[in-house]
C-alpha cells in the first residue's frame, strides 16, 4: 500500500514548469479576457474590483502567510495606493496607467519605513500596531491640514480612462482588461519572488526566526522588506480600485476594509497565490449574497457563513482543494 | 504479591499509525518496574496510553481493579497516577513553587500541602533555592527534579517516569536515580520507569520488560534481564 | 490648571471603562491565549439584555445580577460550541471566527433591539456624596467598580488553586491534564468570567454614552491597546493600561490634535511605548532556553 504524498501548506504554488499547470493558467487567462466581452458594465466593474482585491490579497498573503507576520491594517496601504492615484491624476495630471507603478513605489517605501520599527514587535503587539495604522489612515485622510491634497471628507473624483489607440472597447471593458494585465504582471512578480532566494529567506524567518538569524539571514531587513513589498502590492490593488470606482474618499477605507482583507486571505487560503483569487471573490460577493438571505441582519448571516467556513475548511479554499487532491491521489494509488 | 497495574492486550495508535501491538504488562505494588527498549520501540507511547493522552487505545488497563482505559487523562491523574512526561512538561512561565502547587491539584483534600512541599524540597534542595524563580530558567536537571516533585505532590500510588535521564549530565542522573530509589522505598510509591539507558534502569528496578517495535519480547526480574545475553549485547554494551 | 485636572479625571473615567474591557481581554487571553475580538460586541449585547430586563420591570441590581449570570453562561457556551472545535485550527482561522462572532453579535443586537439610541440608568445616584464638579458620581462609581474587579481577579489568579489551574491550562494543556486539571472546564470558566466582566463594563459605559449597537466598537480598540501596554498576561497591567489610554486619549484630544486625530495619535504613542518595552509596562519577560 503506497501512501499519497500530501502537499504541504507551506509550499507556495505548483511549479510553473508543470505542463498541465501552464495549460490551465492559459485557459484561465483566455476565459478572463473573454469575460470582458460577455459581461455587462456593472458586472465588469465588479470583476475589476475582484482583480484589484486579488492583487491586494497577494500582498497581504506575502506578509502573513509567507513571512508569518500579521497585519490588521493593510487597508491603509490600499487607501494609500488609491490616494496616490487620486492625487497624481487630480493635481499633477499624471496619466492613469503611470499612477499604478507610482502607487506601488510609494507604498513600498512607506511599508518599509513602517516595518522597520514596527517589526520589533511580535504577534499580538504587531497586530495592534497595524490595527493602529488601519484606524489612523481614514482619520489622516480627513485631516483638515491635508485637505488641499486629499480633498478632505469629500475626497477626489476621477475621470475614467478611455481605451487607448482607438480600440473598440468601452471604458468598463478597458479598465477591466488593464487591471487584468496588471494582475498578470503582479502575480508573475510574486511567483518569482517567492521561488527565489528572497522567498526562501522569508519562509525561513516564518518557520524558525532564531535559526534563520543563526544561518545569516538578516531578519530585520528581510522582514521590513517583506512588509514593504506586501504594502506595494496592496497599494497597486488600491490604485486600480480607485480607477475603477472613479472616486476616492476616506470612508471607503475604514478598518472594516482591513478586516475584510484579512478574512479574504484566510478564506482563500493563507500563504497561497490562488487563495488571493478565491478570497477576492469572497469579499466581493458574499456580503451581497448575505443581504439577499436576510435584509434585516445581513451581517449576522455573513458572520455565520464565516464561522461555518472556518469549521469546514480552516485552511481556506486552497487548503480544502489540497486535501481533496491528496484524497484523490490516495484513492488512485 | 498484588499487582497495582495490570495491562492486557494493549493496542495503541496515533491517528492511522499503529504503535503498540497487544502489550501485556504488570507493575507490582511497591516495586520499581523498568520498561526498556531502543528509540521508537513504543515506550513513551505505553506511558501515554496508560494516561489516555494523545493516543487511541484498545485493550484493558486497570489500576488496583479500576479500569483506566474508559477514563480521560485528568480522571486518571486524580486516581493517583503521577506521570512525569518526556521533555519534563514544565510550566515554563510559572514559578517553581507554582509548578509544585499544580501537582497537588488532583488531590481531593488540601490538607498536608505545606508538609508535602517541604518533603519535595527535602528530596530536591535545589528547588527550594529556586522556589520563586521562573521555571523556564531552570537547568535541565533542575526541571527534571521539578517534574518529579510535581508528580509527587499528587501523592500518587503509581509514578510513571519517561526517560528521566534524557539530556542530563551523568552526575545529575546519578543523583536523580538515587532519589527515585528513595522515593520508592520511603514513600512506598510503585514506579514504572521508561529508560533508554538500560544499565541505569536495571540498577534500581525489581522487574523489567523489553520492548521492540510495540511488543514485549522479554520480561523478568532485573537480575535475569541483566544476565540475559541478548540484552547484554544489545542494550548493556557488554 | 483646573481644566487639565478636569480633563485628566475625565480621562480616568473613560479609562475605567477601557480598563474593564481590557480586563476581560486579559481574562480570555490568560485562559486561552487568544484575543477575543468580539469582546466589545458581546459586552454591548449583554447591556441590551440588561436593558430588556429593566424594561420588563426588574429592579436595577436584580437585572444587573441576572445579566452577569446570563453573560457568563452565554460566553461559556460560545467557548464550548464555537471556539473549542477550532482548537486545532491555525491561528488566523481562529481570528476569523472571532471576527464572525463580532459581526454576528453586532448585527443581532441591531436586529433585535433596533439602532435607536436608548438611555440606560446608573446605579450611582447623581447627587451622591462622592460626586463633585470634577467628576460625576457615576464616573467615580465606574472607576471603583473597575478597581474592585481587578482586585478580585488578581487575587483569583494569584492566590487561588483554581486561578493557578486556569493559567496552567492556557500554557500547557497536556501537562495540566497530567496533574488532574480538566482543560475544557478551565476554558469555559475563563470565557464565562470574561463574559461577565464585559457585561459589567457595558453596564458602566451605557449610562454615559447611551446604548446602541455601536457603543463598544471604539472601546475595544482602546481596551486592546490598554491590555497590551500594561502587559497582556497581567490583570493589574491591563487595568493600568486602560486608565493610561483613557487619560492619554482625553489629553490628546483636548490639547494636542482635537477629536479627529486623537485616536491615531494615542495609538501611535502606545505603539511607541511597545517598541521600547515590547512586553508592556508590567508584563513579564518570559525567558525561554533555546
Cβ B31 vs Cβ B190: under 8 Å: yes
* pLDDT confidence band for C124 (50 / 70 / 90): confident
Mean per-residue pLDDT over chain B, rounded: 90
Q: Which three cell numbers stand for residue C105?
A: 453579535
Domain count for chain C, please give it. Answer: 1
Query: Under 8 Å CB-to-CB from B127, ≥6 apart: which residues?
Result: B96, B100, B120, B121, B142, B145, B146, B149
pLDDT, tens digit (0-9, with 9 covering 90-100), for A261-318 = 999 999 999 888 889 999 999 999 998 888 888 888 888 999 999 999 999 999 899 9
pLDDT at residue C256 greater than cutoff 80 = no
pLDDT reported for residue C285 = 60
* pLDDT confidence band for C260 (50 / 70 / 90): low
Q: Flag whether C248 is in a domain.
A: no
Query: Do C178 and B98 count as a contact with CB atoms less than 8 A apart?
Result: no
CATH number at residue A283: 1.10.3470
Query: Do C289 and B102 count as a contact with CB atoms less than 8 A apart?
Result: no
Q: Flag whether C253 is in a domain.
A: no
pLDDT reported for residue A3 = 31
Domain count for chain A, please give it. Answer: 1
Distance in Å from the first CA to the final CA of chain B: 33
Cβ B157 vs Cβ B190: under 8 Å: yes
Neighbours of A167 (CB within 10 A): 10
Long-range CB pairs of B113-119, under 8 A, 24+ apart, other chains included: B116/B152, B116/B153, B116/B155, B117/B153, B119/B152
- CA of C95, closest CA in chain B: separation in Å? 24
pLDDT reported for residue A224 = 85
Query: Do C103 and A143 count as a contact with CB atoms less than 8 A apart?
Result: no
pLDDT reported for residue B102 = 94
pLDDT, tens digit (0-9, with 9 covering 90-100), for C22-75 = 888 888 887 777 888 899 999 999 999 999 999 999 999 999 999 999 999 999
pLDDT reported for residue C154 = 82
Which among B53, B74, B93 is the nearest to C286, CB-wise? B93
CA B142, CA B130: separation in Å to the nearest integer? 9
Q: Flag whether A117 is in a domain.
A: yes
pLDDT, tens digit (0-9, with 9 covering 90-100), for A13-31 = 444 457 777 787 888 888 8
Cβ B40 vs Cβ B211: under 8 Å: no
CA A47, CA A59: separation in Å to the nearest integer? 19
pLDDT reported for residue B31 = 93
pTM: 0.82
Cβ C46 vs Cβ C199: under 8 Å: yes
* pLDDT confidence band for C287 (50 / 70 / 90): low
pLDDT reported for residue A7 = 33
Q: Flag whether A192 is in a domain.
A: yes
Cβ B192 vs Cβ B6: under 8 Å: no
Q: Flag whether C254 is in a domain.
A: no
CA C190, CA C169: separation in Å to the nearest integer? 10
Query: Do B91 and C287 count as a contact with CB atoms less than 8 A apart?
Result: no
CA B102, CA B126: separation in Å to the nearest integer? 19
Q: Flag whether C277 is in a domain.
A: no
Nearest to B131 by CA among B144, B145, B121: B121
Give the three-class secondary structure for A273: helix
Q: Flag whether A4 is in a domain.
A: no
Domain assignment of residue A37, given as a range: 32-159+168-332
pLDDT reported for residue C277 = 77
Nearest to C179 by CA among B4, B132, B150, B127: B150
Domain residue ranges in chain B: 3-92+158-234
| % of chain B residues with pLDDT over 70 | 98
- Which chain C residues are Cβ-neighbours of B133 within 8 angstroms? none
Q: Scan for cell 500554557, then name that residue.
A: C171
Radius of gyration over every alpha carbon of chain A, rounded to an integer in angstroms: 20
List Cα–Cα distances, B234 to B36, B62, B197, in angstroms: 11, 32, 11
Q: Flag whether C239 is in a domain.
A: no
pLDDT, tens digit (0-9, with 9 covering 90-100), for A91-123 = 888 888 899 999 999 999 999 988 887 777 777
Q: Scan for cell 464565562, then name that residue.
A: C192
Interface of B with C (CB under 8 A): 51, 53-54, 72-74, 77-78, 83, 85, 89-94, 98, 101-107, 110, 134, 136-137, 150, 154
- Which chain B residues are Cβ-neighbours of C176 within 8 angstroms? 74, 102
Q: Flag whether A13 is in a domain.
A: no
Cβ C249 vs Cβ C262: under 8 Å: yes
Which CATH topology does B3-92+158-234 take? Rossmann fold (3.40.50)
Query: Do A298 and C111 count as a contact with CB atoms less than 8 A apart?
Result: no
Cβ C135 vs Cβ C9: under 8 Å: yes
Q: Scan for cell 476621477, then name that residue.
A: A158
Query: Do B77 and C177 count as a contact with CB atoms less than 8 A apart?
Result: yes
What DSSP assignment string belongs to B220-237? EEHHHHHH-HHHHHHTS-
CA A262, CA A272: separation in Å to the nearest integer? 13
pLDDT at residue C16 greater than cutoff 70 = yes
Query: Do B92 and C286 count as a contact with CB atoms less than 8 A apart?
Result: yes
Cβ C98 vs Cβ C38: under 8 Å: yes
| Residue of A158 and A107 predicted with greater confidence | A107
pLDDT, tens digit (0-9, with 9 covering 90-100), for B18-63 = 999 999 999 999 999 999 988 888 899 999 999 999 999 999 999 9
pLDDT reported for residue C289 = 47
pLDDT, tens digit (0-9, with 9 covering 90-100), for C73-95 = 999 999 999 999 998 888 888 98
pLDDT, tens digit (0-9, with 9 covering 90-100), for A179-228 = 999 999 999 898 888 777 767 777 776 777 667 777 776 777 878 888 89
Beta strands B158-162; B190-195: pairing state: parallel
Query: Under 8 Å CB-to-CB from B58, ≥6 apart: which residues?
Result: B9, B10, B11, B69
Which among C161, C172, C284 is the nearest to B89, CB-wise? C172
Nearest to B182 by CA among B101, B113, B119, B112: B119
Q: Which three cell numbers stand for residue C164?
A: 493557578
Q: Give the pLDDT mean for B227-236.
A: 79
Q: Scan for cell 472601546, then name that residue.
A: C219
pLDDT, tens digit (0-9, with 9 covering 90-100), for C133-176 = 777 888 888 888 888 888 888 889 889 989 999 989 988 999 99
Distance in Å from the first CA to the final CA of chain C: 53
Alpha helices (runs of H) in chain A, residue ranges in sequence order: 19-38, 41-61, 67, 75-91, 96-118, 123-142, 147-150, 171-195, 197-207, 209-214, 219-245, 255-268, 273-293, 298-312, 316-332
Q: What angle do CA B44, B13, A1 make, to 5 degrees?
A: 125
List Cα–Cα distances, C172 to A324, B88, C99, in angstroms: 33, 12, 26
Rounded to the nearest 5°, which phi and psi values hold at B34? -100, 145
pLDDT at residue C290 greater than cutoff 50 = no
* pLDDT confidence band for A158 (50 / 70 / 90): confident
Q: Flag whether A182 is in a domain.
A: yes
Query: Under 8 Å CB-to-CB from B206, ≥6 apart: which residues?
Result: B28, B31, B32, B33, B221, B222
CA B64, CA B68: separation in Å to the nearest integer? 10
- Which chain C residues are Cβ-neighbours of B92 within 8 angstroms? 171-172, 286, 288
Q: Flag whether A6 is in a domain.
A: no
The partner residues of B26 in beta bridges, in order of sequence, read B6
Mean per-residue pLDDT over chain C, rounded: 86
Q: Flag whether A326 is in a domain.
A: yes
Give the three-class secondary structure for B94: coil
Cβ B103 vs Cβ C179: under 8 Å: yes
Amino acid at each position: 500500500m503506497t501512501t499519497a504524498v500530501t502537499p504541504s501548506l507551506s509550499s507556495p504554488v505548483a511549479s510553473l514548469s508543470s505542463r498541465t499547470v501552464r495549460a490551465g493558467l492559459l485557459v484561465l487567462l483566455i476565459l478572463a479576457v473573454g469575460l470582458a466581452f460577455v459581461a455587462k458594465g456593472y458586472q465588469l466593474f465588479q470583476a475589476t474590483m475582484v482583480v484589484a482585491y486579488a492583487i491586494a490579497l497577494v500582498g497581504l498573503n506575502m506578509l502573513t502567510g509567507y513571512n508569518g507576520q500579521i497585519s490588521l491594517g493593510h487597508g491603509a496601504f490600499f487607501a494609500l495606493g488609491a490616494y496616490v492615484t487620486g492625487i497624481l491624476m487630480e493635481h499633477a495630471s499624471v496619466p492613469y496607467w503611470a499612477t499604478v507603478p507610482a502607487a506601488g513605489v510609494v507604498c513600498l517605501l512607506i511599508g518599509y519605513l513602517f516595518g522597520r520599527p514596527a517589526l520589533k514587535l511580535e504577534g499580538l503587539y504587531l497586530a495592534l500596531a497595524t490595527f493602529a495604522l488601519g484606524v489612523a489612515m481614514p482619520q489622516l485622510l480627513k485631516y483638515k491640514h491635508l485637505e488641499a491634497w486629499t480633498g478632505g471628507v469629500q475626497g477626489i473624483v476621477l475621470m475614467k480612462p478611455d481605451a487607448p489607440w482607438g480600440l473598440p472597447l468601452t471604458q468598463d471593458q478597458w479598465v477591466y482588461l488593464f487591471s487584468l494585465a496588471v494582475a498578470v504582471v503582479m502575480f508573475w512578480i510574486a511567483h518569482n519572488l517567492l521561488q527565489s532566494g528572497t522567498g526562501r529567506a522569508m519562509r525561513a524567518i516564518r518557520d524558525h526566526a532564531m535559526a534563520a538569524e543563526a544561518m545569516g539571514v538578516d531578519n530585520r531587513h528581510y522582514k521590513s522588506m517583506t512588509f514593504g513589498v506586501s504594502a506595494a502590492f496592496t497599494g497597486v490593488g488600491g490604485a486600480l480600485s480607485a480607477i475603477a470606482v472613479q472616486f476616492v474618499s476616506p470612508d471607503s477605507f475604514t478598518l472594516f476594509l482591513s478586516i475584510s482583507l484579512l478574512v479574504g486571505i484566510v478564506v482563500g487560503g493563507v500563504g497561497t497565490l490562488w487563495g488571493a483569487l478565491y478570497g477576492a471573490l469572497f469579499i466581493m460577493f458574499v456580503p451581497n449574497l448575505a443581504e439577499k438571505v436576510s435584509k434585516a441582519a445581513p451581517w449576522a448571516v455573513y458572520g455565520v457563513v464565516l464561522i461555518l467556513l472556518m469549521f469546514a475548511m480552516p485552511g481556506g479554499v486552497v487548503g480544502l482543494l489540497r486535501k481533496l487532491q491528496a484524497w484523490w491521489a490516495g484513492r488512485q494509488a | 504479591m498484588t499487582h497495582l497495574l495490570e495491562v492486557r492486550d494493549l493496542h495503541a495508535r496515533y491517528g492511522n499509525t499503529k504503535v503498540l501491538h497487544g502489550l501485556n504488562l504488570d507493575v507490582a505494588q511497591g516495586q520499581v518496574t523498568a520498561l526498556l527498549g531502543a528509540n521508537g520501540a513504543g515506550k513513551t507511547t505505553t506511558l501515554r496510553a496508560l494516561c489516555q493522552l494523545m493516543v487511541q487505545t484498545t485493550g484493558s488497563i486497570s489500576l488496583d481493579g479500576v479500569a483506566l482505559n474508559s477514563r480521560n487523562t485528568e480522571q486518571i491523574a486524580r486516581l493517583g497516577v503521577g506521570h512525569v512526561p518526556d521533555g519534563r512538561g514544565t510550566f515554563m512561565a510559572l514559578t517553581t513553587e507554582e509548578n509544585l502547587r499544580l501537582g497537588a491539584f488532583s488531590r481531593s483534600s488540601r490538607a498536608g500541602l505545606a508538609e508535602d512541599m517541604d518533603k519535595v524540597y527535602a528530596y530536591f534542595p535545589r528547588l527550594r533555592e529556586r522556589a520563586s524563580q521562573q521555571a523556564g530558567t531552570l537547568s535541565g536537571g533542575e526541571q527534571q527534579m521539578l517534574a518529579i516533585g510535581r508528580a509527587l505532590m499528587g501523592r500518587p500510588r503509581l509514578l510513571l517516569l519517561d526517560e528521566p535521564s534524557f539530556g542530563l549530565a551523568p552526575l545529575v542522573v546519578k543523583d536523580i536515580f538515587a532519589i527515585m530509589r528513595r522515593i520508592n522505598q520511603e514513600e512506598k510509591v510503585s514506579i514504572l520507569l521508561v529508560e533508554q539507558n538500560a544499565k541505569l534502569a536495571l540498577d534500581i528496578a525489581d522487574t523489567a520488560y523489553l520492548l521492540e517495535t510495540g511488543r514485549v519480547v522479554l520480561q523478568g526480574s532485573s537480575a535475569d534481564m541483566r544476565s540475559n545475553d541478548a540484552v547484554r549485547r544489545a542494550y548493556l554494551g557488554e | 490648571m483646573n481644566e487639565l485636572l478636569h480633563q485628566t479625571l475625565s480621562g480616568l473615567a473613560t479609562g475605567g471603562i477601557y480598563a474593564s474591557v481590557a480586563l476581560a481581554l486579559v481574562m480570555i487571553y490568560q485562559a486561552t491565549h487568544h484575543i477575543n475580538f468580539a469582546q466589545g460586541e458581546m459586552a454591548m449585547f449583554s447591556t441590551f439584555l440588561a436593558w430588556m430586563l429593566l424594561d420588563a420591570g426588574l429592579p436595577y441590581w436584580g437585572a444587573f445580577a441576572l445579566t452577569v449570570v446570563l453573560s457568563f453562561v452565554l460566553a461559556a457556551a460560545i467557548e464550548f460550541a464555537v471556539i473549542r472545535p477550532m482548537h486545532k485550527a491555525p491561528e488566523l482561522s481562529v481570528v476569523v471566527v472571532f471576527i464572525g462572532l463580532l459581526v454576528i453579535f453586532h448585527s443581532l443586537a441591531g436586529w433585535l433591539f433596533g439602532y435607536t439610541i436608548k438611555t440606560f440608568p446608573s446605579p450611582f445616584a447623581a447627587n451622591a456624596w462622592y460626586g463633585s464638579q470634577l467628576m460625576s458620581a457615576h464616573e467615580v462609581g465606574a472607576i471603583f467598580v473597575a478597581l474592585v474587579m481587578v482586585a478580585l481577579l488578581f487575587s483569583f489568579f494569584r492566590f487561588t488553586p483554581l486561578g493557578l489551574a486556569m493559567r496552567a491550562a492556557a500554557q500547557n494543556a497536556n501537562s495540566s491534564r497530567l496533574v488532574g486539571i480538566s482543560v475544557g472546564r478551565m476554558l469555559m470558566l475563563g470565557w464565562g468570567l470574561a463574559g461577565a466582566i464585559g457585561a459589567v463594563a457595558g453596564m458602566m459605559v451605557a449610562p454615559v454614552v447611551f446604548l446602541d449597537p455601536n457603543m463598544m466598537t471604539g472601546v475595544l480598540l482602546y481596551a486592546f491597546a490598554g491590555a497590551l501596554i500594561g502587559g497582556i498576561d497581567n490583570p493589574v497591567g491591563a487595568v493600568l493600561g486602560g486608565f493610561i489610554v483613557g487619560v492619554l486619549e482625553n489629553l490628546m484630544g483636548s490639547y494636542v490634535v482635537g477629536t479627529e486625530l486623537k485616536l491615531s495619535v494615542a495609538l501611535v504613542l502606545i505603539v511607541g511605548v511597545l517598541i521600547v518595552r515590547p512586553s508592556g509596562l508590567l508584563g513579564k519577560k518570559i525567558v525561554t532556553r533555546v
